[in-house]
Amino acid sequence: MSDTATRRTDSVMAGIGWMVLTTLCFACVTGIVRFVGTSVSASEAAFLRYAFGVLFFLPMLIRIMKRPPKPAIMKLHAIRGTIHGIAVIMWFYAMARLPIAEVTALGYVAPLFVTIGAALFMNEKLHARRISALVVGLLGTMVILRPGLSEFSSGQIAQLCAAPLFATSFLLAKHLTEKADVSEIVLMLSIFCTLILLPFAVFTWTTPSLSDTLWLAMTAAVATLGHFTMTRAFRAAPITITQPIQFLQLVWAALIGIILFGEPLDPFVMLGGGIVVAAATFISHREAVAARRVVTPPSMATKD
């Protein structure tokens, strides 16, 4: 094996390792939020999580403020922070009321909305294969929810409403990457989410216990670590390799729910989550193929 091939293999293996760690971090975040539960309101818990996140980014804030973003870019940051903040409130609400595995599985719907949003607002084409994957993803969601066999709960509705909002936040982030560096995008999301969540938190405020405060600070720390490891994974390996590994987050979430909270393992949630992840993985694969065609001579292009 050549040195180039060896380095490529090592990079892919590193990417897989980083993504496995990422799934564990995000599963731990859901476990912590589930543990805090309803002892503080969803808006207050979300506010504290992002407020602590801003503290972690203070050194970066000082550096960025020396050359603040242009007004047009700052407006995009504000819009994204508003949308993301509302989505986070819904996610925290769902997390306190649903089994961890179910919240995680329903969260996999967001990439499907990203594909739809990219077609509607970013002029990206939806070909037959991607449409088929979206339909499969929708069927996976139906397996999780089992409409007609069980009643919709407020937690399920909240998580389903959060999914398109998270997708919109992702699309705005994708647009911002063309105009700002990654550190600025992450920091501004934390700042604007904190500002947006503040009035909601004040309206429902109850002084959290020291234990809850420390756990929410831990949430911010673990989530920040998860974003760091995810970035490393995306740099080291293609998204077509890292995307399927995200199913491990559902496995970790199910184990946390069973071991720590005595939640029963729902086979429909695992099956539906697997279907949605498979659909999202296929969509990611087609997007990666399309991206490669952009730099491929026209004579080498193939039909999607």
pTM over 0.85? The answer is: no
Under 8 Å between Cβ of 122 and 171: yes
- The four Cα atoms 272, 154, 161, 281 give a dihedral, to 10 degrees, of -10
Res 301 pLDDT > 60 = no
> What pLDDT score does 296 carry?
40
| Dihedral pair phi/psi, residue 155, rounded to 5° | -65, -40
**Average pLDDT of every residue of the chain:** 82
Task: Out of 123-127, 150-154, 195-199, give the one with best mean pLDDT.
Answer: 195-199
Q: What is the pLDDT of residues 156-208, one digit of tens each?
A: 899 999 999 988 888 888 788 778 887 788 888 889 999 999 999 999 899 99
> What pLDDT score does 284 carry?
67
Using pLDDT thresholds of 50, 70 and 90, give the confidence band for residue 217.
very high
Res 105 pLDDT > 80 = yes
Distance, in Å, from the CA atom of 227 to the CA atom of 97, rounded to the nearest integer, reads 25
Count CB neighbours of 301 within 10 A.
10
> What pLDDT score does 78 carry?
94
Distance, in Å, from the CA atom of 288 to the CA atom of 131, rounded to the nearest integer, reads 16
Res 286 pLDDT > 80 = no
Res 36 pLDDT > 90 = no
Exposure letters 180-198 (e unless 16+ CB within 10 A, then b) = beeebbbbbbbbbbbbbbe
- Rounded mean pLDDT, 136-150: 76
Exposure letters 89-122 (e unless 16+ CB within 10 A, then b) = bbbbbbbbbbbbbbbbbbbbbbbbbbbbbbeeee
Question: Which domain does 292 fall in, by range?
Answer: 3-300
Res 214 pLDDT > 70 = yes
Res 26 pLDDT > 80 = yes
Q: How far is CA 291 from CA 102, 276, 279, in A?
A: 33, 23, 18
> What pLDDT score does 66 carry?
79
Distance between alpha carbon 185 and the CA centroid of its chain, in Å? Answer: 15
Distance, in Å, from the CA atom of 25 to the CA atom of 18, rounded to the nearest integer, reads 10
| Dihedral pair phi/psi, residue 150, rounded to 5° | -150, 150
Res 289 pLDDT > 70 = no
Res 82 pLDDT > 80 = yes
Using pLDDT thresholds of 50, 70 and 90, give the confidence band for residue 290.
low
Domain count, the chain: 1
Please state, for a pLDDT cut of 70, what percent of the chain lies above it.
87
Res 60 pLDDT > 90 = no
> What pLDDT score does 150 carry?
66
**Least confident among 105-114, 254-263, 267-276:** 105-114
- Rounded mean pLDDT, 132-150: 77
